[in-house]
Amino acid sequence: FWSPDSRKIAFIDKAMEIFIYDLAADTTTGVDKGLYFYQGALQGFTASWSSDSRWLAYARDLDTRSAAIFLYDLKENRSHQVTSGYYNDANPVFDPDGKYLYFLTNRTFNPIYGDIVDSFPASRGALCRRRSDAIAPTRRAPWTSARPPGPRAAASRSSTAPRTAAPNTASS
């Protein structure tokens, strides 16, 4: 995966180790290591660069066998887990401006009650928004979960306005 500045390449090897190769410095830096990236998961590994080539976003499996989204900061040479790992999160992608990080997730809050449930959770889209008050990733996580802007977000903002009762027009 080429960086936007065309100076670095992110890749994963068969030992499930994630690396970044810097062409100008002719160095390879270890980023992280997957735990259970066997067969299709290893072949389907994806990574996404921020537009300034500072951050590398990728999903990695955890001891719980779920996957979480991680961000690797090239300035700090440090990886940050940005989703909980309680749900399966995958395929992170930065938007062109680097303000949002989109990813797929298996989280759903629609419980189904019954004796037999023959359905599986479907992946849904989600995003993280860059926090404006994040100064240093080593002191504070630079990303926070956010709802995408749109009609639902606008509706939730307008629903916080005080409500007045309708006048009673019924005659007695």
Residue 13 is given by DSSP the state: -
Sign of CA dihedral 78, 82, 86, 89: negative
- C-alpha angle 76-47-50 in degrees, rounded to nearest 5: 55
Read off the pLDDT of residues 94-141 as tens digits, 9 standing for 90 and up. 988 888 899 988 877 666 665 565 555 555 555 566 554 443 333 334
Point out the least confidently predicted range of 14-23, 31-40, 83-92.
31-40
Dist CA 129 CA 147 (whole Å):
8
Q: Is residue 104 within 8 Å of 126, Cβ to Cβ?
A: yes
Both tokens assigned to 54: 């500072």
pLDDT of residue 139: 36
